[in-house]
Amino acid sequence: MTDTLRPSTTDPRRARRRAVPVAGAALATLLAVAGCTGGEDRATDAADTGTPVAVAVTGPLCEQLPAGTEPGNPGSLVGQPADQALQWIPVLTTFEAAVRATGLGGELAGVTVLAPTDDAFSAKFSRTNLDELLLHDVDDLRTLLREHVVTGPMSVSELVTAGSVRTLADTELTVTGEGEAARFGDEAQTVCADYQAAGTRIHVINRVLGSLPTTAGEDDDGHPAH
């Protein structure tokens, strides 16, 4: 599956607004709140990073994401808490909103985050199902997110060398190498890897992991769409 969302090169909130039409009402509300609380502070933080830090990210999606001196470039995220760094990667609006909805940000220090893209969430959940997770089934959503977090900050090469890793949800993921990417079982692989936040590695992946059922393609009453 190929992610085609191209972010703004000036303000990540514009990229969020582009994602809203494919989101349910709950996600749209969370994105709107994020856009008007602290956005200017984040822009200032990203701009005032001092000497640029060279960070090499790898994967086919990287060329569509902020680079160089653009806000949200990999070097500008070094030293930021992981939950703040996620806000600057434009294809992770759903994952970042889910982190805020579950209050999981405090668990994202000293870990590896495997963050599915917005396209991955759209391929996994219907709008109604995603709204239910964000608003009501928060425990299920928190468990799902913890299935995407591995103890200890690990680069792609370290993940592949390990061969298997255990998540915060106590599930085991088999890891194999595929070119410059890491593949997790038969489910997902990295598409832009090795972002570095404060004590945390963030790898963008192309599928949602975990055991929750796939509901994409169902209409609002839970029946298959025609």
Residue-wise pLDDT tens digits, 144-164: 999 999 999 999 999 999 999
Q: Which helix (H) or strand (E) holds 150?
A: strand 149-151
How far apart CA 87 and CA 167 sit, in angstroms, is 22
Task: Output the pLDDT for position 51.
Answer: 56
Q: Are 65 and 90 in contact (CB under 8 A)?
A: yes
Least Cα distance to 202 among 150, 164, 166 occurs for 150
Least Cα distance to 92 among 186, 196, 208 occurs for 208
How much is the average pLDDT of 23-49? Answer: 50
SS3 call for 178? strand
112 - beta bridge partners?
Answer: 150, 201
pLDDT tens digit sequence for 208-224:
999 899 999 986 555 55
Q: Is the pLDDT of residue 168 over 90?
A: yes
pLDDT tens digit sequence for 125-149:
999 999 999 999 999 999 999 999 9
Place domain 12-205 in its CATH homologous superfamily.
FAS1 domain (2.30.180.10)
How far apart CA 68 and CA 52 sit, in angstroms, is 9
Percent of the chain scoring above 70 in pLDDT: 73
Residue 88 to residues 72, 172, 196, 211, Cα–Cα distance (Å): 5, 29, 12, 28
In the structure, what pLDDT confidence band is assigned to residue 187 with cuts at 50, 70 and 90?
confident
